[in-house]
Structure 1
Amino acid sequence: MFVPRNRLLIVFALIGVPAMGFVGLGGALLVPGIAALAILLGVVIVDVVGGKRLIEGLRIEYPPDTRMPKEKAGEFAFTLGNFDSDATEVLCAVPFPLEISTAVEALPIRVPPVGQQTQVTFPCLPRRRGVYMLQGAYLEATSPLGLWGVRAVLPAAGRLHVYPNLQFDRKELAALFLRRGDMGLHTQRQMGKGREFEKLREYFPGDDIGDIHWKATARRGHPVTKVFQIERTQEVYVVMDASRLSARPAGVASRQATEMLARVRQRSLEMRGELEVIEPDVDINVSPMLDRYMMAALMLAQVSQRQGDMFGLSVFSDRVHTFLRAKSGSAHYHTCRDALSAVEPRLVAPDFGDAAATLRAKLRRRALLIIMTSLEDPAIAEHLETNVGLLTRQHLVLVCMIRPPGVAPMFEDPHASTGADVYRHLSGQLRWEELREREARLRKAGAHFCLLPNNRFSADIVSEYINIKRRQLI
C-alpha cells in the first residue's frame, strides 16, 4: 500500500499543476507541458518501485512465547532482519489486542545493515490475564525520494501469555523471597518419627509394640522392629474450580459484581494507550475469584518447591479441563503458569463428582489436595459434600474458600450506627452460621475447611500447608 507524502503534494503543486495549465493553453506550451508531466510521472513510478523494494527486503520474527505479568509494564521483544533493503528507518506497529495497552501506536526503528538483524522492544502494559495470539507486523517506510509512504503487513506469529500479578501476594509473603542470611522461608522441622518405612532392625526394650514386624519376627525367631523415616518428598495438588462462581470479583458483594465488572471493562478501554501509570496497585478486590485462586496456586507452587515437595494442578468446571501430574523444578512451574494463563471461567455449575473420580483414578499415592472453590450456593455445597468422600478415603483434602464480603460473626465489627447496619450484620451472622454448618458436614466427611480473607488468601493457604507438613498429616 502506498500513501502520498507531503513532498509529493508539494512537487505536484509546483510542477504538475503548471504543466497541466500549459497543456490546457496549448500552442507553444503544449509540448513543454506534456514533457513535464511525463517526467513527473516517470519519477513517481521510479520512486514507487524503489519504495516497494524497501519493504520486501525486511523480515519480522516474533518469539514463539512471551510471558508478562498482569498490570505490570513490560516489553514485547522481536527481531527485525534486513535481507535486501536500503531502508534506514521504518515505523513498526504490533497488532496488540484491546487487553494490551501501548504508549505509542507505532515505533520508529533503525534498520540494520544488509545481512544483519536487530532486537526491537515494544513497550506495553497487559490489562487482563490470558493467552493472546499476535499475527503479522505492520511496517511503513519512506520511498527513496520521499514522495510515498510504503506500508505492508509482514508475516509473523507469536503468543503472549499474561499471567496473574503476584506483587500483592509477594508482599504478604515477603519472607519467602528473602534468601540472604538466616531470613526467609526454610524447610520446616517436622514433628514425630515419620510414616515412611525405612528398614528393619533388632528389637530393643522400650520399642513400641505397634512397630514390631510380626512376619519378620516369625521368620527369624526373635522380635524385629520396623524403622520409619520422615517423608522427604510429598505431593501437593491444587484443585481449582473454574465454574460460574469463580468469575465474580473477589471481595465484592454478589449484588455489586455485575456493575463492578462493567466499570472495570470500561476503565480498561478508556486507559488504552495511556502508560502514565506504569505499575498501578493491584486491586485484588476487583480481581475475579479465579485470578485469586491462580495467585495462591502459583505462590504455593514456589513454596512447595522450596520445601522439597512436588506440585500438581487440576482445573475443572463441569468437567476436568487441565491435569498436570505433580513434579518439581522451574520448568514444571512455567508449565503450570502457562496452563493457568489460558484458563477462563465458564458459566456452568461445577461437577465435583467428575473431578473426584478423575483424581481418584490418576492419583495412586497419598497427597494433599487443596480444593479452591466457593460454597455460597447451597446446591454446590451439597454436591461437594456428597462427592468429597471419594477423595478423603486416600488423600488429605483441604477445602479453601474466600470469605464473602459481610460474612462474619455479628459482633466482630463494633461499628453499627444505624438500623440498616444492624440488619446487615445480622445477615452476615446468618450466612456465617451456614458456612460453619457446611464446615461441620465436610469435617464429618473427612475434609478440612478453611474460610480465608481475600487479602490474605495466598498467605493463609501457605500457612495451612506448612502446618500440615509439620504435623505430618499427608
Structure 2
Amino acid sequence: MASEHSYSSASWVLLPSQRLLWWTGLVMVPLLAVAVAAIDSVAGLAALIGLLLFLLVLVTDGMACAGLGREMTLSCRDDVMLARNQQGCIELSLHQAPPVELSAFLGPAPWLGCDEPWIRADSTTATRNGADTATLRWSLRPRRRGSWQAEQIVLAMASPWSLWTLQRHYYPKLTVRVLPDIRTVYKECLLYQRRTLAGQARMRLLGRGREYEKLREYQSGDSFEDIHWKATAKHQRLITKEYQMERRQSVYVVVDASRLSGRPAEGGDTPESILERYIQAALGLLLTSARVQDDCGLVVFTDRIRAFLPAKHGREHVQRCREVLGAVEQSEDSPDFEEIGNELRLRIRQRALLVFLTNLDDPALAADFTRQARLLSRQHIVMADMYRPAGATPLFTTKVSESAAIYDALAGHLRWRQLRTLILTLRRNGVRLALLAPGPIAGQLSKQYLAIKQRQLV
C-alpha cells in the first residue's frame, strides 16, 4: 500500500509582485528622477527621503514575507492510482500553514487532463494542537494509461502588504499511476457474470472430473485407462483411480503488446489502439474468472515474456494484475512465439486455459503461432482471439456503391479467406481462434470463457 510522508521546504525565492512593479513605475521612478534633477534643492531632498522610506517599506515587507511558512510541511501519498477516463484528484495537506492566501503549482503532464496547474488552497482549519492545516486538490481526468512522477511542487504566498511573493519549493516522491478503467469493463461483463452466478447451482455437469480424489477397487464398466498399475501389482487385484469434479481451474490471459498491437482499432466511442482493447478485455476476463471462483493469471509478451503473474484468486491478486496491465507499453518488436511457447510450458505445469490476445494476420507470425499452439494444446486448453482486421469480410456481405470499392471488397475477402483458413488449421490442432468484432471486446471474451466453463473443457 502507498504510504504518506511529510516534506519540508528545500529552497525558497522572493519575487516582486505585480503591485510592487506598479508602485515602482508610478512612485519610485518619478522620485528618483526628481532627486537626481534637483539634488541641491528642497524638492530633491524630499524626493530622496521619500525614496528611503519606500525602500524601508520594501525591506520590512520582504523580511516579513521571508519568514512565512518556514515551519510548514507538506504531506502526500507516495503512490496515487487513478482510472483512465474517470475523474480523480491529487490531494496534499499543508501543516502549520501561515494564515495567508496560498496558491500551489504542480504542473502535471497534459495527458492527465488537469485544467488548472495553479490552484488556491482551501481555507485553513485549526487542529487540536493549535496549528493550521490547508488542503491542496488538483482535479484530473486522465486520457490514457501510464505513470507520471512529480518533479516539484511550488507554494506561493503573498507578503503582508502584497509587495512580494514568496515561493517555497518542495520535492516530494509523488507518483501518479493511471490504470485501466475497471468500471466500464465491469458493466460490459456484468450481464454474463450475473447469468453465470445465477445459474451456477443448477448448471448441469457433463462428463467426469479430472481432479484425482482416491483409489478404489476395480468395478465393472471402469475404463482401463484409469487402472493404477503400481497399486494393482502391490495388492494383487485391479485398482482404479477415482476422480472428482474440479471446482477451481486456472485461467491465463496472454496479452500481445508487440508492434501489430499498436495499430488503431475500429469501432467504439473513443479512438484507441488494439492494445488498449486487449487490455480492457484481459481485465474483463480476470474479473469474470474471479467471480466464478477460478484462479486467474496474467502473461504479457512482446518479443519475449515481459510480465508473468501465476494463477491465484482473490481481490488483491486481481488488483495486482490491473496494476501490471496499467504499466504495459506497446513495443516495436515482433513476437518470438517459439521462445514464448517454451517458457509457458516450463512455467505452467498444471492444466490450464490459455487465452491469447494476439494478432495473426501476418502469415509468418501465424505459422509460428500454429506450431507452438499445437505443442501447448497437448497439455492445456488453448484459445486465441484477435481483433478483426478492417474490411476482412466475405464478399456480398456489404453493399458496394462505387466501382472503386469493389477492389477494397475483394481485398477484404482475401484477408477473410486467409483468416478462415487459419481458423480451420488451428481447429484441427485443438486450438480455437475467434475474430472479435470491432468495438468493446471485453464482453465477447467473457462470453467465450463462460461457454468453455459450461462445457467443462478445462
Q: TM-score range by the shorter chain?
A: 0.7 to 0.9
Q: Which residue of 2 aligns with 1:139?
A: 155
Map 1:221-240 → 2, pairs under 5 A: 223-240=238-255
- Aligned pair partner of 2:274 in 280, 283, 289: 289
Any gaps of 5 or more consecutive residues in structure 1?
253-281
Q: Deviations over 1:123-180 (max 9, x none)?
A: 111112111112211221111211122223311122211123355544432325769x
Larger deviation, residues 381-390 vs 344-353: 381-390
Aligned position for 1:277: none
Query: What's the secondary structure of 1:462's corresponding residue?
Result: helix
Residue 454 of structure 1 aligns to a residue whose secondary structure is: coil
Contact map agreement 1:400 1:449 (CA 8 A) in 2: yes
Cα shift at 1:328: 1.5
**2:174 pairs with 146, 150, 158, which one?**
158
Q: Any conservation in 1 of the 2:258–2:332 contact (CA below 8 Å)?
A: yes
Corresponding residue of 2:316:
331
* Partner SS, residue 406 of structure 1: coil
Shift of 1:302: 0.7
Q: Distance in 1 between matches of 2:227 and 2:32?
A: 112
TM (norm. structure 1) is: 0.84
The match for 2:442 is 458
Residue 16 of structure 2 corresponds to: 4
Matches for 1:48-447 after TM superposition, within 5 Å: 48-82=62-96, 85-109=97-121, 110-113=123-126, 115-166=131-182, 168-175=184-191, 190-203=205-218, 207=222, 210-220=225-235, 223-251=238-266, 283=269, 286-413=271-398, 415-447=399-431
Report what 1:267 is aligned to: none
Is residue 175–residue 183 contact of structure 1 (8 Å, CA) maintained in 2?
no
Moved more, 202-211 or 462-471: 202-211
Q: In the TM superposition, what is the alpha-carbon distance from 1:21 to its structure 2 partner?
A: 4.6
Residue identity opposite 1:76 in structure 2: I
Q: Secondary structure at the match of 1:104?
A: coil
8 Å Cα contact 2:84/2:143 also seen in 1:
yes
Out of 10, 24, 35, the residue aligned to residue 23 of structure 1 is 35
* C-alpha displacement of 1:216: 3.7
> Quick check: 1:15–1:36 contact (8 Å CA) kept in 2?
no
Gaps of 5+ in 2: 1-12
CA distance in 1, matches of 2:107, 2:198: 42
The answer on 1:37 being equivalent to 2:51 is: yes
Residue deviations 1:360-419, cap 9 Å, x none? 111111111111111111111122123323322222111110111211221333x22333
Q: How many residues are paired up?
A: 439
Paired position in structure 2 for 1:268: none
The one-letter code of the counterpart of 2:371 is T
Identity %: 34
Q: Are the counterparts in 1 of residues 262 and 275 from structure 2 also a CA contact under 8 Å?
A: yes
2:3 maps to which residue?
none
Give distance in 1, aligned partners of 2:253 and 2:241. 33
Contact 2:92 2:137 (C-alpha < 8 Å) held by counterparts: yes
Counterpart of 1:46 (choices 60, 84, 104) is 60
Are the equivalent residues in 1 in contact too, given 2:206–2:456 (CA < 8 A)? Answer: yes
Distance verdict in 2 for CA 1:105–1:460, change over 3 Å = same
User: What displacement does 1:73 show?
Assistant: 2.2
Letter of the 2:88 counterpart: G
- Relative distance call for 1:456 and 1:190 in structure 2 (3 A) is farther
Residues 107 and 240 of structure 1: is their aligned pair in 2 closer, same or farther, counting only changes over 3 Å? same
2:280 alignment partner, SS class: helix
Q: Specify the SS of the correspondent of 2:309.
A: strand
Matched, 1:468 2:452: yes
Structure 1 stretch displaced more, 325-334 or 415-424: 415-424
Kept after mapping to 1: 8 A contact 2:193/2:291: no
Q: Deviations over 1:233-279 (max 9, x none)?
A: 22111111111100011127xxxxxxxxxxxxxxxxxxxxxxxxxxx
Cα deviation per residue 1:67-93 (whole Å; 9 max; x = unaligned)?
Answer: 2222222222222222xx524321112
CA RMSD of aligned residues (A): 2.7
Segment drifting more, 70-79 vs 90-99: 70-79
How far, CA to CA, are the matches of 1:328 and 1:132 in structure 2?
30
Letter in 2 for 1:363: I
The aligned amino acid for 2:290 is Q
Q: Which moves more between the two structures, 372-381 or 147-156? A: 147-156
